[in-house]
Amino acid sequence: MSKVLSLLAALAALFMATPARASFDQSCLPSMKLFFSGFSGCDSVALLSPGNDTRVNLVFLLADAKGQRLAIQSRDPEAYPKPSTFTPADWPGFAAAILPPKANNDETSGEATICVSDAKGQADFIAAVAADTSLSEAEKAALKAAREAIACAGSTAAGAAPEVQSANAKEFAAYLAAITKFYQADHADAAGFAALANSPQGWVKEAARYMQARVLLLAGQAVAFDDYGTLSADKIDRAKVAAAKDAFEAYLKDYPQGAYAASATGLLRRAAWLGGNGGEQRALYAKLLHGAEVNDASIALINELDFKLPPDAYLAEGADPVFLAVEDLRRMREQHDDKGNVVPGMKAEVIEAQKARFAGQDDLYAYLVAARAWFVDHDAKAVLQALPERAVTADLTTLELSRQVLRLAAMDAGGDGKAARAGYVALVAHATAAYQRPALEMAIALSDEHNKHIATVFDADSPVKEPLIRAQVLDMLAGPILLRQQASAKDVPQDERDTAIYRLLSRDLVQGHFKGFVEDIKLLPPKPAPAADGSVQDKFAAFRWEGSKDGYACPDIVSLAQTLATNAKDVAGRLCLGEFFRGTGVADLPKPADGILGSTGTLFAGAPLARGDFYADIMKDAKASRDDRAYALFRAVHCYAPAHSNDCGGKDVDEATRKAWHDELKAKYGDTVWARQLKFYW
């Protein structure tokens, strides 16, 4: 790999790398939960939380500081995916949702390479030439053509020097020679620009000053990155980095509003990073961020600092309270040792020792104290002590929303669920920023689950409107009465009725409510008409199962349910129900982990049926027909194909037992079609 390509690869890897501290840049499905003490990269919520991507927490705090109300931006659905309005979830989705879509889709052209400056540099040069009244028209044309002929990448052939006579034209020509060398030959030689640092031509002088500093910085890192973009700190030429820093500062002193001031400021941060000066980095970031609203520029800056600012810089004496708060939240995350055991989290005295550093930001400090008590110690009483009750009369900031929700959750955990729910409901009117209302709706639904009042989620005056939350309650919690209510409701969206119908019918069968299924199947909507291409998108296809004629013969699902409603132990009926489960994918839903909406389990009575249990019972049933016992053995062995793991439910058995089933089928029922078909055991 050439030196040029090595440098480009190193820069690209540097700027495109995933920040180690904050998140995994990937698409995420939101978890149905309000509080996350661990970190996955996909579980950011609308509160200041340890589980959030640190960049999300930083955006929230900066928006609060500026009094900015974050909003979900509209976008062309054909060009952009629909942004999530339910939860921030992951960093890329969050950043995309709160920023307007870019007018130019080609956002990556030249990104993270020296070529990123080529287009602007060319435009600036041509504009400066056109504005210089001392140049003849012929000189302007020649200089313009010469600049347009310079290719940043893909060519090493230098164009002919323009033939010019006037003094300023020669200055422009000398700059062209320097920029040609920079783009096409040597990115670390500043001599050509240094020679123009006192040019009498104003634009040339400014551009040369900027480029001289930029080249010095490139020289300082020239051999510090390998071909894969990995930085070796010991290979940084710190003297050249320091010289670049001085040059950028000198440029900014002379040109505080210059054409390249923004770029010089960014590269000054890079010089601080390469120079290992975390305090200087932190000060530069803090100055810029506190002067900006959340927008494209500040989001890019947050990405940059998340990658480059070392963790100890967040905590060092003099660190801005916002940085300190973000790092404190990160350190509250649940940690595990090499064996997966939870290790002790941040101690109370760590936060207590920081009190003076949050002078003037008492609310933020009180929240951090309460958050540590909640996420690390799981101490609801300590939360209530740290966060006294206070009324909300204005739109909620993220900090105030976090404070109020954490306090109400502690009340709920302490047994005052009725007051907690009322508190959540009262906050809804003040939840005007992005993601805030869905967070409160999740809090209300979780409170209703905790206090065993899930039906109130669907009351006419319920503030819980978010379809994902309502669907989760129907899928994971609702019993037959509530499911039938929503399946028959006329004043809810069709999707919600469909969710209720599907879950009602599946639970009827999975949990053995066969009489209920025979009645509830009447709620099944007609089969949809074919689309233009002849395909049919039928979400209820499973419940139109017509049975099977090949292999083990079975009736349609309604006839089967009628049989089982009369005798739930019917051998053929259970084997056919196993065929239904196997062929349609209808199955029990695993109970969510603690803290996730639905973790207390369904109100449908009865244990879920497992076809693995059917087979185990029937193969031992002397009253079962010989063919039925053979088929039960055949299917029981296949439960473990091909991955050696049980996909039939019921009690797992070891490989020796599976081999015994195989051998029994071959020995006792060798003349059956099932014995002839079975070749292996798994």
Q: What is the pLDDT of residues 480-498, one digit of tens each?
A: 999 999 999 999 999 999 9
486 and 627 fall within a common domain: no
User: What backbone torsions phi and psi does residue 446 show, to the nearest 5 degrees?
Assistant: -65, -40
Please classify residue 6 by burial: count the beta carbons closer than 10 Å to its beta carbon, then call 0-12 exposed, 13-18 middle and 19+ buried.
Answer: middle
162 and 299 fall within a common domain: yes
The pLDDT-based confidence of 24 (bands split at 50, 70, 90) is very low
Residue 331 in any domain: the answer is no
Q: What is the pLDDT of residues 535-554, one digit of tens each?
A: 889 999 999 999 998 889 99
Task: Return the pLDDT at 550.
Answer: 84
DSSP string, 67-115: T----PPP--TTTSPPPPSS--BSHHHHHHHHSPPPS-S-TTTTTTSGG
- The Cα 480–Cα 508 span in angstroms is 8
- The Cα 630–Cα 677 span in angstroms is 11
568 and 553 fall within a common domain: yes
Residue 428 in any domain: the answer is no
Q: What is the pLDDT of residues 81-115, one digit of tens each?
A: 566 789 999 999 999 899 876 643 333 333 335 77
538 and 473 fall within a common domain: yes
Q: Which residue has the tokens 């503030």?
A: 463
Q: What is the dihedral of CA 37, 43, 49, 52, to 10 degrees?
A: 110
The pLDDT-based confidence of 266 (bands split at 50, 70, 90) is confident
592 and 631 fall within a common domain: no
DSSP state of 497: H
589 and 506 fall within a common domain: yes
267 and 205 fall within a common domain: yes
518 and 628 fall within a common domain: no
Residue 46 in any domain: the answer is no
DSSP string, 132-157: -TTS-HHHHHHHHHHHHT--SSS--P
- The Cα 56–Cα 50 span in angstroms is 11
575 and 619 fall within a common domain: no
Residue 26 in any domain: the answer is no
Of 618, 535, 536, nearest to 577 by C-alpha is: 618
User: What backbone torsions phi and psi does residue 257 show, to the nearest 5 degrees?
Assistant: -115, 25
Task: Return the pLDDT at 426.
Answer: 98
- The Cα 74–Cα 99 span in angstroms is 9
469 and 590 fall within a common domain: yes
pLDDT at 464 over 50: yes
Q: Which of 19-28, 271-280, 617-626 has the highest mean pLDDT?
A: 617-626
502 and 634 fall within a common domain: no
Task: Return the pLDDT at 56.
Answer: 97
**What value does the mean pLDDT take over residues 323-352?**
92
Integer-rounded Cα radius of gyration of the chain: 34
Residue 483 in any domain: the answer is yes
Query: Which amino acid, one-letter code, is at 137?
Result: E
Task: Return the pLDDT at 287.
Answer: 82
Domain that holds residue 631: 610-682
pLDDT at 5 over 60: no
Q: Which of 259, 279, 310 is the last residue of a domain?
A: 310
Residue 667 in any domain: the answer is yes
pLDDT at 291 over 80: no
Task: Return the pLDDT at 227.
Answer: 78
Q: Which residues contact 341 (CB under 8 A, 6 or more apart)?
A: none
Residue 64 in any domain: the answer is no
pLDDT at 51 over 90: yes
- The Cα 478–Cα 369 span in angstroms is 37
Measured CA distances, 400 to 64, 538, 682 (Å): 9, 45, 57
A 10 A CB-CB count for 533 gives 5
Q: Which is it for the CA torsion 314, 319, 323, 326, positive or negative? A: positive
pLDDT at 158 over 70: no
pLDDT at 22 over 70: no
Q: Which of 260, 277, 310 is the last residue of a domain?
A: 310
Whole-prediction pTM: 0.83
Q: How many domains does the chain have?
A: 3
- The Cα 383–Cα 371 span in angstroms is 7
Q: Give the chain's mean pLDDT.
A: 89
Task: Return the pLDDT at 82.
Answer: 65
DSSP string, 645-656: S--S-S----HH
Task: Return the pLDDT at 363.
Answer: 97
Task: Return the pLDDT at 116.
Answer: 76
Q: Which of 587, 608, 629 is the last residue of a domain?
A: 608
Give the three-state DSSP class for 477. coil
pLDDT at 647 over 90: yes
Task: Return the pLDDT at 2.
Answer: 35
Residue 272 in any domain: the answer is yes
Of 473, 468, 467, nearest to 447 by C-alpha is: 473
Task: Return the pLDDT at 159.
Answer: 59
Task: Return the pLDDT at 4.
Answer: 32
628 and 549 fall within a common domain: no
Of 598, 417, 409, nearest to 31 by C-alpha is: 598
